[in-house]
Amino acid sequence: MKKILFILFLCSVNTFAQDKYTISGTVKDKASGETLIGVSIIDKDNYQGTVTNEYGFYSLTLSKGTHTIEISYIGYNNISKKIEINKNQTLNFSLAENVESLDEVVLTSTSEKISIQKAEMSVNKMKVQTIKEIPAILGEVDVLKSITTLPGVTTAGEGQSGFNVRGGAADQNLVLLDEATIFNTSHLFGFFSVINADAIKSLKLYKGGIPAKYGGRISSVLEIHQKDGNKYSFHGNGGIGSISSRLTLEGPIVKNKVSFFLSGRRSYADLFFPIVMPDNDNTAYFYDLNTKVNWEIDEKNKLYLSGYFGKDVFSLSNSFINNYGNAVGNVRWNHVFNNQLFSNLSLIYSKYNYGLELDFVGFKWNSGLQNVNLKYDLKQYFNDNLSIEYGLNTIFHEFNPGKIEPNRDDSGIEEEQLAKKYGIESGIYIDVDQKLSNKIDLRYGLRLSGFSRMGEKNKNIYAGSPVIYDEDLKIYEQATPIGQKNYSVNDFMKTYINLEPRFSIAYSLNNTSSIKASYQRMAQYLHLISNTQSPSPLDIWTPSGEHIKPQLSDQIAFGYNKDFKNNYSLTAEVYGKTVKNRLDYIDGADLIAQEAIESIILTGESRAYGLELLLKKETGKITGWISYTLSRSEQQTKGRTASEIGINNGKWYATGYDKTHDISLLTSYKASKSWSFNSNFTLQTGQPVTYPTGSYQYLGSNVPNYGLRNTYRLPMYHRLDVSATYKPKKYKTKQFKGEWVFSVYNIYNRNNWSSVLFSQDVTTGQPTTERLSIFGIIPSVTFNFKF
Amino acid sequence: MKKYIYLLFLILTTISCTEEIVIDDLDNVDPRLVIEASIDINKYNNSYKTQTIKLSQTTSYYSNKYPQVKNAVISVTDENGNSMGTFLDVNPAIPNDEEDGVYTAVDFTQPNLGDKYFLSITVDGETYTAEDTYTGIVDINEINQQTISFGDDIIQINVNIDNEIGVDNYYLTKIDSPFRIISEYGSGNDEEFTEEPGKNNFDVITYIDEELEKDMKIDISLYGISKNYQNYLSKLFLIAQGSNGPFSTAPASVRGNILNTTNQDNYALGYFSVNQFIKTSYTVE
């Protein structure tokens, strides 16, 4: 494999032609100066083209002569320009947003053609506008919930945190907000997500064919970019909703040079508590604050400072105080060496903290993690057929598994800091984007990743394995450490190195259709320790080490893409993947304040396969998509020796987020300049669940007796959400624009099953089953404004 | 702690709704022997002489008629193989004793703290064995109450005991209140509490129930149990007291300490334990 890559690389370098010149530059929004990501820049004469990178930069090498260049982007007016190519030059473009065209088709097929030809596959992009139009619970626009309308993306259940991509676990998604990792993506235990849609400009989800640039998670990469801020004039926008209010301010600090962006959102149900209940001393709220400053130093240098701070706070009479949140910040420096070499240097800090205070027990708990990431990425555009990305990064991680301390003097709780863990994660990569012929496009790369577990205090030493097996009773138990050893933080206790090849190929059948294939191997060194259906905010992350090996996944995918004349496009893909070293937990494992995580886990594997169909219509009066996924996601943990039974008797079992069928139908209808209507219909197979296969009596209580895991299913889940947006035509000032969004979630009020509770009536002793449904019909109104 | 989180989750889901339902196919696919052999020795009186061991079978989920297991031969012995008492389904020493799978001994010998005891049960040609260590219990320092507010005022009852210095102890707690027919059980340990002399007392029970009212009399029992038994009970209670939803763990059959020496695969559920206990009552103020 490596040999082939090398040969391909050599061939391409030899084809370097002499009478070619390069144009490069940045594409911006005309009104705001915001850089645009993924804009097509195409030479119309021979359909050669490129797209702008995540900083709006492009580079295109063309032969000497006159070329007609077309710059196109969905929702914007195209620019077509004749250019005389006789020297290397910088050409910046500004695109105007297309607000008028309701009826006409905005997009030419040329830019679509690029994505048909490109080797990139299993990638979904969503425009912020689309995300905002999807009807949401209580009208609260939800960036992460919106991606579950895409094929291959699901969640364990309604109101549950995280998302699952192609049968992968929620901790296997790399969520990057301006390149900084977000560790907890949910507010209110999963009802809402932490990303404020007002603050972002684009979203890109890689489900497969993940470029070598990315590493550290094995299921997906969700790349989100925050807005830079208007460079020309001061603007604001905001909204008043049922759950939260939002306000965004942006504008130039130094015109054309320095701009700022500030966006905040806060839920405010708690502000009404005192009005409804005067004696109330409970509170519950969440907030997000997104900030960014960017400075265009000159044509070749740009500096970005961005930050995100979010928190959830609950307090019940000061006896139960719970707060958790992410904080990230980074500095990035874009430098264009020449019109063929773009670079970005980033220094990124991420933090997640979870705090809990239970006054009636008398303790305070804090856990979390923080890390610093130094990253340098370069992209070199050799010619119109070849570009190479390469770079390296290193992350220093600190994990705090938890600190328990008494919250008052008379508490009997003993202060204890569970030993902090440290690790260094590094990666170096090269990724080649190469067009072999008019028909064949390739993307191949290699990532070399490594993880070193650094020394820690009080490391447990075991006589044998940290998990012991009782041969007679067939149960796994925690081994008792025979001692503890202290290591210095500078010690390398354990190092893992992995080679991660990535490969994608596209073969164009004709101008409107292509077939694609990809293979990827990825390694994940961090693990979210969670044995529940859905991750909870107090789950902790733990690094690989002596007892916990990195998760390794291999995925292959095949795809077919087709553009139809009337602006429909179809993507069909099949995938299969396997994951090695997936953690599973011994029955009854208690993860809370668990000092010896190694003693409650066993290592297994998981696998997933599926078919994804996406039929999309992006332009016209009616837009939207239908997505369908047929899939299977399973996990198995066998015994370590022939005599052990493993977990679930060593049998494969469906993961909690396995959905056989998953259909989404999203439509948007622009009826007039004032009115638009949106709907979202979802139908999916019920969640796998474990029901008791009997019960018995012990200590006077009825005890359910459970059989194998996840062999039952909740009833089918479906619901329809609708919304209508009204934009009044006239406001007194020209600047001010407002819109009303009326939405109804679950319009036919289906009581979808969320879970089943097996318990016993304490007054009659009768065993009972109770179904929990979370969201019934929920109407809401939101007012959004811009100035 | 997950329980608190789940509680909070439920509070948040005020827009959610629950409905009692019946699920059709929860049949008893795999009938198993259930052994409830808790030898509970009262620390302060001679009631230890009467002990019971209950044998039953699993049944389908909604049935609360548990099949009785008759014709078993049961022995409980000490480390030297001496019988501790004679367990009979129909014990002639008890008036009107019925054949009901409850095997009673009226001649049980006082065990010694720290000693190991052994159970052997033969039924339907298969023999089940188990062992446990007799574990003691400290006395209660005091029982007090306070009022906490979760919107409404709720009574909280605290039972304070000493954390013995130099050892980790494991507890089973039982509360009987007039408003429930099933005892409220809990289990815990003192691993996380300070052993610093003078400060080494802690609340082994913090009992919060909105049904608690002034002048209500509740019975409180406290058992000293082995570490393994507490480990078993914590799993059992998690399942018995009903946990499901996004933050519940994957439920599984809970295996106790009973081994089928004839046919390992036909394992029995339940536990054999030898525990010392104290019992007291408290009237809510």
Which of A489, A418, A493 is closest to A453 using CA atoms?
A: A493
Interface test with A, best of B13, B142, B177, B247 (most A CBs within 10 A): B247
Q: Structural domain tally of chain A?
A: 2
Contacts of A536 in chain B (CB under 8 A): 2, 5, 246-247
- Region for A775 from its dihedrals, namely left if φ exceeds 0, alpha if ψ lies in -120 to 50, beta otherwise: beta
- CA atoms of A498 and A549, how far apart (whole Å): 12
pLDDT at A77 over 80: yes
Per-residue HEC secondary structure of A200-262 comes to EEEEEEECCCCCCCCCCCCCEEEEEEECCCCCCCCEEEEEECCCEEEEEEEEEEECCCEEEEE
* B63: closest chain A residue by CA: A767
Same domain, A366 and A256: yes
Among A404, A589, A757, whose Cβ lies nearest the Cβ of B242?
A: A757
DSSP 8-state class, residue B248? P
Contacts of A404 in chain B (CB under 8 A): 192
Contacts of B242 in chain A (CB under 8 A): 757-760
Q: What is the pLDDT of residue A49?
A: 83
Q: What is the pLDDT of residue B1?
A: 43
Closest approach of chain B CAs to the CA of A293, in angstroms? 36
Q: Each residue of A236-257: pLDDT tens digit? A: 999 998 888 999 999 999 988 9
- CA atoms of A393 and A374, how far apart (whole Å): 5
Among A360, A414, A534, whose Cβ lies nearest the Cβ of B156?
A: A360
Q: Is residue A681 part of a domain?
A: yes
Q: Which pair of structure tokens corresponds to residue A658? A: 């396995």
Q: Is A493 exposed, middle or buried (0-12, 13-18, 19+ CB in 10 A)?
A: middle
How much of chain A, in percent, has pLDDT values that exceed 90?
Answer: 57
Contact A190 B38 (CB under 8 A): no
Same domain, A101 and A222: no
* A758: closest chain B residue by CA: B242
DSSP notation for B9-29: HHHHGGG-EEEEE--TT---S
Among B28, B192, B240, whose Cβ lies nearest the Cβ of A694?
A: B28
A–B CB contacts, 8 A cutoff, strictly below: 280
Distance of CA A19 to the CA centre of its chain: 43
Same domain, A66 and A210: no
Q: How far apart are the first and last CA of chain B?
A: 29
Same domain, A106 and A190: no
Res. B284 pLDDT band, cuts 50 70 90: very high
Q: What is the pLDDT of residue A385?
A: 87
DSSP 8-state class, residue A571? E
Number of alpha helices (DSSP H) and beta strands (DSSP E) in chain B: 2, 16
Q: What is the pLDDT of residue B88?
A: 95
Contact A700 B248 (CB under 8 A): no
Res. A157 pLDDT band, cuts 50 70 90: confident
Interface test with A, best of B53, B141, B244 (most A CBs within 10 A): B244
Q: What is the pLDDT of residue A106?
A: 43
Among B180, B206, B239, whose Cβ lies nearest the Cβ of A704?
A: B239
Q: Each residue of B46-63: pLDDT tens digit? A: 889 999 999 999 999 998
Q: What's the complex ipTM?
A: 0.92
Closest approach of chain B CAs to the CA of A396, in angstroms? 30
Contacts of B272 in chain A (CB under 8 A): none
Token match 């334990």: residue? B273
Same domain, A58 and A196: no
Mean pLDDT over B180-200 rounds to 85
pLDDT at A452 over 50: yes
Mean pLDDT over A311-328 rounds to 86
> Hey, is the C-beta of B147 within 8 angstroms of any chain A C-beta?
no
- CA atoms of A323 and A316, how far apart (whole Å): 12
Q: What is the pLDDT of residue A292?
A: 95
Q: Compute how many other C-beta atoms are within 10 angstroms of the C-beta atom of residue B163.
A: 24
Contact A709 B252 (CB under 8 A): yes
Same domain, A107 and A192: no
Closest approach of chain A CAs to the CA of B214, in angstroms? 20
Contacts of B206 in chain A (CB under 8 A): 360-361
Mean pLDDT over A568-577 rounds to 95
Query: A710-714 — which CB contacts under 8 Å span 24+ positions?
Result: A710/A653, A710/A654, A710/A655, A710/A656, A710/A658, A710/B250, A711/A653, A712/A688, A713/A685, A713/A686, A713/A687, A713/A688, A713/A689, A714/A686, A714/A687, A714/A689, A714/A753, A714/A754, A714/A755, A714/A756
Mean pLDDT over A28-45 rounds to 88
Which of the residue ranges A43-47, A534-538, B203-207, B238-242 has the most confident prediction, judged by mean pLDDT?
Answer: B203-207
DSSP notation for A416-482: EEPPPEEEEEEEEEEEEEEE-SSSEEEEEEEEEEEEEEEP-SSEEE-SS-SEEEETTTTEEEEPPPS
Res. B253 pLDDT band, cuts 50 70 90: confident
Contacts of B273 in chain A (CB under 8 A): none
Q: What is the pLDDT of residue A14?
A: 41
Contacts of B225 in chain A (CB under 8 A): none
Among A161, A414, A536, whose Cβ lies nearest the Cβ of B194?
A: A414
> Hey, is the C-beta of B23 within 8 angstroms of any chain A C-beta?
yes
Contacts of A756 in chain B (CB under 8 A): 21, 23, 244
Q: Is residue A492 part of a domain?
A: yes
Contacts of A648 in chain B (CB under 8 A): 252
Res. A278 pLDDT band, cuts 50 70 90: low
> Hey, is the C-beta of B30 within 8 angstroms of any chain A C-beta?
yes
> Hey, is the C-beta of B270 within 8 angstroms of any chain A C-beta?
yes
Q: Which helix (H) or strand (E) holds A397?
A: strand A386-406
Q: Each residue of A139-155: pLDDT tens digit? A: 888 888 899 999 999 98
Question: Does the structural domain B33-133 have CATH classification 2.60.40?
Answer: yes
Contact A767 B64 (CB under 8 A): yes
How much of chain B, in percent, has pLDDT values that exceed 90?
Answer: 56
Closest approach of chain B CAs to the CA of A397, in angstroms? 26
Report yes or no: A570 and A435 within 8 Å, Cβ to Cβ: no
Q: What is the pTM of this model?
A: 0.89
Which of A636, A605, A640, A585 is closest to A469 using CA atoms?
A: A640
Q: What is the pLDDT of residue B191?
A: 83
> Hey, is the C-beta of B17 within 8 angstroms of any chain A C-beta?
yes
> Hey, is the C-beta of B199 within 8 angstroms of any chain A C-beta?
yes
Task: Identify the CATH number of the domain in which residue A22 sits.
Answer: 2.60.40.1120
pLDDT at A423 over 80: yes
Q: Which of A53, A88, A111 is the last residue of a domain?
A: A111
Strand duo B170-176 + B184-189: pairing: antiparallel
Contact A769 B23 (CB under 8 A): yes
Q: Which of A111, A126, A151 is the last residue of a domain?
A: A111
Q: Which pair of structure tokens corresponds to residue A122? A: 């299993």
Same domain, A99 and A197: no
> Which of A46-55, A62-71, A463-472, A529-538 is least confident?
A529-538
Closest approach of chain A CAs to the CA of B210, in angstroms? 14
Mean pLDDT over A682-702 rounds to 91
* Average confidence score pLDDT of chain A: 88
Q: Which pair of structure tokens corresponds to residue A324? A: 């958790």
pLDDT at A667 over 80: yes
Contacts of A416 in chain B (CB under 8 A): 192
- CA atoms of A239 and A785, how far apart (whole Å): 6
Contact A696 B208 (CB under 8 A): no
Mean pLDDT over B17-32 rounds to 82
Q: What is the pLDDT of residue B52?
A: 95
Which of A454, A438, A375 is closest to A215 using CA atoms?
A: A375
Q: Given CA atoms A186, A188, A193, A196 in this order, what sign does their dihedral have?
A: negative
Contacts of A407 in chain B (CB under 8 A): none
Contact B192 A277 (CB under 8 A): no
Task: Identify the CATH number of the domain in which residue A656 sits.
Answer: 2.40.170.20
Q: Which pair of structure tokens corresponds to residue A47? A: 């359909």
Q: What is the pLDDT of residue A733?
A: 66
Among B203, B242, B251, whose Cβ lies nearest the Cβ of A412?
A: B203
* Average confidence score pLDDT of chain B: 88
Interface test with A, best of B57, B128, B195, B239 (most A CBs within 10 A): B239
Q: Is residue A736 part of a domain?
A: yes
Same domain, A194 and A107: no
* B34: closest chain A residue by CA: A696
Contact B56 A696 (CB under 8 A): yes
Q: Each residue of A753-762: pLDDT tens digit? A: 888 888 888 7
- CA atoms of B86 and B73, how far apart (whole Å): 10
Task: Specify the 3-state DSSP secondary structure of B236.
Answer: helix
- CA atoms of A685 and A254, how far apart (whole Å): 54
Q: What is the pLDDT of residue A731?
A: 65
Q: What is the pLDDT of residue A172?
A: 96
Q: Each residue of A623-645: pLDDT tens digit? A: 899 999 999 999 999 999 998 99
Interface test with B, best of A587, A590, A695 (most B CBs within 10 A): A695
Same domain, A714 and A593: yes
Among B15, B59, B244, whose Cβ lies nearest the Cβ of A695?
A: B59
Q: Which pair of structure tokens corresponds to residue A659? A: 């959905």
Q: What is the pLDDT of residue A588?
A: 76
Interface test with A, best of B20, B26, B27, B190 (most A CBs within 10 A): B26
Among A593, A759, A778, whose Cβ lies nearest the Cβ of B241?
A: A759
Q: Which of A95, A111, A127 is the last residue of a domain?
A: A111
Q: Is residue A76 part of a domain?
A: yes
Same domain, A209 and A106: no
Q: What is the pLDDT of residue B245?
A: 57
Q: Which pair of structure tokens corresponds to residue A460? A: 């447990």
Same domain, A199 and A99: no
Q: Each residue of A363-377: pLDDT tens digit? A: 888 999 999 999 999
Q: Each residue of A191-234: pLDDT tens digit? A: 888 989 999 988 999 999 999 999 999 999 999 999 999 999 99
pLDDT at A728 over 60: yes
Closest approach of chain A CAs to the CA of B159, in angstroms? 12
Radius of gyration, alpha carbons of chain B: 21
Domain around A331? 181-786
Contact A703 B254 (CB under 8 A): yes
Interface test with A, best of B14, B25, B53, B61 (most A CBs within 10 A): B61
Token match 């040079």: residue? A257
Same domain, A340 and A437: yes
Q: Is residue A159 part of a domain?
A: no
* CATH 2.60.40 residue spans of chain B: 33-133, 136-251+275-283
Q: Which pair of structure tokens corresponds to residue A293? A: 């400053």
Q: What angle do CA A391, A396, A400 make, to 5 degrees?
A: 150
Mean pLDDT over A760-773 rounds to 84
DSSP 8-state class, residue B138? P
Contacts of A766 in chain B (CB under 8 A): 64
CATH of domain B136-251+275-283: 2.60.40
